[in-house]
Amino acid sequence: MAHKICVIEGDGIGKEVVPATIKVLEATGLDFEFIYAEAGDEVYKRTGKALPEETIEKALESEAVLFGAAGETAADVIVKLRHILDTYANVRPVKSYKGVKCLRDDIDYVIVRENTEGLYKGIEAEIDEGITTATRVITEKASERIFKFAFELARERKKEGKEGKVTCAHKANVLKVTDGLFKRVFYKVAQEYKDIKVEDYYIDAMNMYIITKPHVFDVVVTSNLFGDILSDGAAGTVGGLGLAPSANIGDEHGLFEPVHGSAPDIAGKGIANPTATILSAVLMLKYLGEHETANRIEKALEEVLALGLTTPDLGGNLKTFEMAEEIIKRL
C-alpha cells in the first residue's frame, strides 16, 4: 500500500529542493501517493490566508507531511501546522559528513526540542507605552512527554552503537520556576531509564560545548526557544543550514522540513542545496518504518558529498536537480 504523503513546497527555494527530493524518493522503488498542498507568502497574497483549511485537512489525512520552506508567514504556517498536528518533538540531527567542511569529523548527535510551549506560545502583551511582556509556559505534562521521547531515542541509538546518553540544557539557576520544573521533571523521568546516562548543563555553557566538545553528545534535550537557537548554532559546526534536516513528531503525525528558510536571495536560480530536505525525507522514511530505504538514500548522499558533487554553497558547481540525479545514480 502506498505511503500517503502531503507535500507542501512553500516559498522560495522550497519550490526547488522539495521537487528534487521527490525525485529521489520516487527513485527508491517505494510506492508513494504524493498529495500536494499550498501554504506560505504567495498563497497569503493571493487568498489572504497563509495556511488554507484545505491544506490543514490534507496534512491531517496523510501519514506524514514533507514541507519545504516558509517565508515571512512562517509563524502562521509552519509553527501553526506543528501545533495543529501536535508534533511536540522537534528532532534535529547534527552530523558531520566526509567531504563537507566541519568543525570535527566525528560529530553525531541529535537535539530534541520541545515544540509546543515555552516563549513560542506567543503570549505577548504591551502593558504600557514602551513596556512589553512575553509569558514563558513550561508544564510538567509537556516536559515529561519530551523527556520520554528523548530517552526512547537514546535507547534506540544505543542499539546502533551510540553511547546512550541524554543531556538536558536549561537555565534553572536564573529561571528558577519554569526551568526549575523542567530540570526536576528531567531527573524524575530519568529514573525510568536506568540504562541511559544523564547529565545537564546551563544553556549558555551548552552553547559553548557544542563548539568545544560536540563529539561527546548523544541526545540533547531542551525547551522550545533554547532548542531553536542551539540547533542553528550546531548546524554551523557541520557545514551550515543547507545540511540541517528536522523532524516534528507527535503521537499521531509527523512533519518533516529542512531547517533553512526560503532563501529569497537565491530562489529561482536552481542552485539551492537539497541535502537538508533529502535528509528530512530520510527522517520521514524512518518514521514510516522504511529504515532500509532511508539508509540507502543517506549512503548515496554520503558518497555524493564525499566526491564533492555538490551545489555552490559547499564548493561544488552542480545545480539542485543535478545533485539529486547524482544521488539517484547511487541508490
Task: Tell me which CATH code domain 103-237 carries.
Answer: 3.40.718.10
15 is catalytic: no
Q: Which residues contact 79 (CB under 8 A, 6 or more apart)?
A: 120
| Bridge partners (DSSP) listed for residue 275 | none
Q: Which residues contact 148 (CB under 8 A, 6 or more apart)?
A: 189, 192
Q: Which residues contact 263 (CB under 8 A, 6 or more apart)?
A: 12, 13, 69, 272
141/236 Cα distance (integer angstroms): 32
> What is the average pLDDT across 118-135?
92
**266: helix, coil or strand?**
coil
User: Of the residues 44, 88, 97, 120, which is catalytic?
Assistant: 120
Residue 120 pLDDT level (bands cut at 50, 70, 90): confident
CATH 3.40.47.10, domain 1-89+275-331, yes or no: no
Report the pLDDT value the prediction gives residue 121, as an integer from 0 to 100: 86
171 is catalytic: yes
> What is the average pLDDT across 297-326?
96
Q: What is the pLDDT of residues 22-77, one digit of tens each?
A: 999 999 999 999 999 999 999 999 999 999 999 999 999 999 999 999 999 998 99
Report DSSP letters for 164-213, one per residue: -EEEEEE-TTTSTTHHHHHHHHHHHHHTT-TTSEEEEEEHHHHHHHHHH-
Q: Would you say 18 and 51 are in contact if contact means Cβ atoms under 8 Å apart?
A: no
Q: What is the pLDDT of residues 11-22, one digit of tens each?
A: 999 999 999 999
Q: Would you say 167 and 200 are in contact if contact means Cβ atoms under 8 Å apart?
A: yes
Nearest residue to 301 (alpha-carbon basis) of 331, 257, 321, 271: 331
Backbone torsion region of residue 52, taken as left when φ is above 0, otherwise alpha when ψ lies between -120 and 50, otherwise beta: beta
User: Of the residues 176, 204, 251, 269, which is catalytic?
Assistant: 204
44 is catalytic: no
Nearest residue to 232 (alpha-carbon basis) of 218, 246, 221: 246
Task: Give yes or no for residue 130 having a pLDDT over 90.
Answer: yes
Work out the mean pLDDT of the chain and round it to a whole number.
96
Instruction: Decide whether 1-89+275-331 matches 103-237 in CATH topology.
Output: yes
User: Domain boundaries in the chain?
Assistant: 1-89+275-331, 103-237
232 is catalytic: yes
228 is catalytic: yes
User: Of the residues 228, 286, 287, 319, which is catalytic?
Assistant: 228
**211: helix, coil or strand?**
helix
User: Of the residues 76, 86, 108, 232, which is catalytic?
Assistant: 232
Report DSSP letters for 296-313, one per residue: HHHHHHHHHHHTT---GG
